Amino acid sequence: MSSPARYTPYHPKWYRRRVSVWWWLETGSYTSFVLRELTSVFVAIFAVVMLWELRALAQGPAAYATFLARLKTPPFLALHALAFLFVVFHSITWFNLAPKAMAVRFRGKRVPDLVVAGLNYGAWLFLSVVVAFILLRG
C-alpha cells in the first residue's frame, strides 16, 4: 500500500495486513502442525508402494523378486527411512492429540489426558510386539 492515505473525517479506514505465505514458519507449533499434515503424503506413498507390491506378487515370483531388489536400492531405502520418520511423527502427534478430541468420562469424572494418551501408546506398543512376534517367528 504505497498510495498516500486519504482520510475522510468520521469514515473508518481500517488496516488489514496480508497474511504471509510463509505464515507457517513463524512459530514452532505452526511448523510442527504443517509437518504433521505433510505426513499424510508419506502415508499415501506407503499405500501406493503396498499396492505395487501386491501387483508384483500377483505377477509371479520373478516379478516379486525384481520388486524386492528395487526396494533395496539406495533411493528407495532413503525414501522409506524418511517415510518411517514421518509416520512415527504422525503417530506420536496423533496419540498426543487424541485426549483432546475425546472427553472420556469414567465414573462421572473426566479421565486425565495423560491416561488417555498413555493407553493409546500402550496399545500401540502391544500391537507392535504382536506383529513383530508373528513376523520374526516365521
Partner 1 sequence: MELFSCDVLVVGGGGAGLRAAIAVVESDPRLRVAVISKVYPMRSHTVSAEGGAAAVIKAGDSLDEHAYDTISGGDWLSDQDAVEAFVKEAPEEMLRLEHWGCPWNREGDGSLAVRPFGGMKVQRTWFAADKTGFHMLHTLFQTTLKYDSIQRYDECFVTKLLVDEGRCQGVVAIEVATGKILAITAKAVILCTGGCGKIFPFTTNASIKNGDGMALAYRAGAPLKDMEFVQYHPTGLPFTGILITEAARSEGGWLLNKDGYRYLQDYDLGKPEPKPVLRSMELGPRDRLSQAFVKEQEKGRTLQGPYGDYVHLDVRHLGEKVINKKIPFVRELCLKYENIDPVKEMIPVRPVVHYMMGGISTDIQGATPFPGLYAAGEAACVSINGANRLGSNSLPELLVFGSRAGRAAAAFARSQPETSPPVLLAAHDEESRLEQMLGRQGGKEKIATLRAEMHRAMEESAGIYRTESALGQAAQKLSELQDRVENLSLDDHSYTFNTEMTSALELSYMLDLAQTIVYAARERRESRGSHQRTDHPQRDDQRFLKHSLVFRGENGTPRIDYLPVTITRWPPGQRVYGR
Partner 2 sequence: MPQTVTLEVARYRPEREAEPIIETYEVPFRKDWVVLDALNHIKDKLDGTLSFRWSCRMGVCGSCGMTVNGRPKLTCAAFLSDHLPGPIRVEPLRYFPVVRDLVVDITDFMRKLKKVKPWIIRKEEKPLSEGEYRQTPDELDAYKQFSMCINCMICYSACPIYGLEPTFIGPAAIALAQRYNRDSRDQGAGERLEILSEHDGIWQCTFVGECTKVCPKNVDPAGAIQQYKLTSALHWVRTLLPRG
Q: Which residues bind partner 2 (CB under 8 A)?
A: 1-5, 7, 12-17, 19, 23-24, 26-27, 29-30, 33, 37, 97, 100-103, 105, 108-110
**Nearer to partner 2 among residue 8 and residue 75 (C-beta):** 8
Grid cell of 24 as nine digits: 507457517
10 interacts with, out of partner 2, partner 1, none, CB within 5 to 8 A per kind:
partner 1
User: Could you give phi then psi for residue 110, rounded to 5 degrees?
Assistant: -75, 135
Instruction: Tell me, residue by residue from 3 to 32, as one string, x for binding to partner 1 by CB under 8 A and - for no binding.
Output: ------xxxxx-------------------
19 interacts with, out of partner 1, partner 2, none, CB within 5 to 8 A per kind:
partner 2
**Binders of partner 1: how many residues, by CB under 8 A?**
5
Buried b (16+ CB within 10 A) or exposed e, 55-68: ebeeeeeeeeeebe
The dihedral built from the CA positions of residue 90, 81, 38 and 44, taken in this order, carries a sign that is negative
Nearest to 52 by CA among 68, 72, 74: 68
**Nearer to partner 2 among residue 20 and residue 74 (C-beta):** 20
Q: Which residues bind partner 1 (CB under 8 A)?
A: 9-13
